[in-house]
Structure 1
Amino acid sequence: MDMTTVGDTGLLDTLQHEVAVFARRAEQTRLGGVGQVRNSMDRAAYLLLNRLDNEGPMGVKALAASMGIDSSTVTRQVAPLVDSGLVKRTSHPEDGRAVVLQLSPRGLSRLEEVRSSRRQLMAELTDDWAPEEREQFCTLLTRFNSALSARMSVQGVPSPEQPPTA
């Protein structure tokens, strides 16, 4: 069903084009930040570390469910993070047979470096924006991402990482 009207066709064309340009530029730069930290952590690692920091230690299945991806993907993405010492595998406190993933002190330090670098990039990109414009952009981008996630969920497609709640 076509939900557009003649009046918003041009606006919707502009919106879809700008989203496509944003996606391409975000992928090209990975919105990695500034300085030495720029592009030094891929999106999957950042999202996994961020989730563990926000929600605490958890098993692979719980981590996969919270991120809307399958367990095999999490297992594959976590392996290099464990190898590099950013994530620790520990025994579940109640069931010693189960494995829990936990952000290591080194992982937290690295995540903070990347967050700081990305925060600096966001500050530079929006330097000439009023605080209200930054807030409005965050609100609208969050709303847009939520709508995409809801649509993907209805279609049975795993949704991407949701932003942390403030």
Structure 2
Amino acid sequence: MTNAHGQKPYPDRDLVDIEYELTLLSRYHALAQRAELHLDRSAYLLLGRLELQQPMSLKELSCAFGLDISTINRQIGALRRQGLVERVEDPDGGLARKVRPTESGLAQLRADREHSTAGVAKVVRNWTPESRRALGDLLRHLNQSVEELEGRTWPRPAPDDHV
């Protein structure tokens, strides 16, 4: 059996639906927020990681993000020039200097997060608390499955850090 284009359909319709909805979600997320935010995507992700696990070396960041160290070095260099991160001595006495967010970096991260959260709140404003919680649980489960496949876990804020 083939579709209108002469191709065999994917055998699992649920997987096709999930992939399609994730594609739309990433499109909507990108369109809805970036123009109003202070930080670009890489700065937001780096500062978000450093907020939960700091300080980190460039090598640790490279491993955490699965990116080449030269890419991380370039991104951290841009954040340093903007005053969003600073290099510090390794608190454990190691030779490598580490990176941590500045107060300005954390303030911009939190402002952008507040804006993004307000956008999500508009979308789910008519949802029940149970539906909102269920979506959060399913997204966490999806992300943790990706992390398991990659062999890299991502820290998450403690429940009381959200309020």
The one of 20, 39, 51 equivalent to 1:17 is: 20
Q: Distance in 1 between matches of 2:138 and 2:155?
A: 13
Quote the offset at 1:16 in angstroms: 1.9
Q: Identify the residue that residue 139 of structure 1 maps to in structure 2.
A: 137
For 2:60 and 2:13, the matched residues in 1 are separated by: 43
Using the alignment, how far apart are the partners of 1:163 and 1:45 within structure 2? 17
SS of 1:118's partner is helix
- Residue of structure 1 equivalent to 2:89: 91
**1:12-51 residue pairs with structure 2 within 5 A?**
12-29=15-32, 31-32=33-34, 38-51=36-49
Q: What are the within-5 Å matches in structure 2 for residues 40-79 of structure 1? A: 40-79=38-77
For residues 81 and 114 of structure 1, the distance between their equivalents in structure 2, rounded to whole angstroms, comes to: 15
**RMSD of aligned C-alpha atoms?**
2.6
Distance verdict in 2 for CA 1:48–1:119, change over 3 Å: same
Query: TM-score, structure 1 length as denominator?
Result: 0.76
- Length, aligned pairs only: 149
Deviations 1:83-128 (A, max 9, x none): 0000011233454852110111111111111111111111111111
The 2-side partners of 1:50 and 1:76 are apart by 17
In terms of mean alpha carbon deviation, does 10-19 or 43-52 score higher? 10-19
- Report SS of the residue matched to 2:62: helix
The equivalent residue for 2:128 is 130
TM-score by length of 2: 0.77
Corresponding residue SS for 2:100: strand
Aligned residue number for residue 108 of structure 1 = 106
- Deviation digits for residues 28-50 of structure 1 (CA, Å, limit 9, x no counterpart): 33x44xxxx82331111111101
Report the equivalent of 1:162.
Answer: 154
Gaps of 5+ in 2: 1-10, 159-163
Moved more, 89-98 or 115-124: 89-98
Which deviations, in whole Å up to 9, do the C-alpha atoms of 1:52-73 show, x marking residues without a partner? 1111212111222233333222
Partners of 2:83 and 2:105 within 8 A in 1: yes
- Identity over aligned pairs, percent: 30
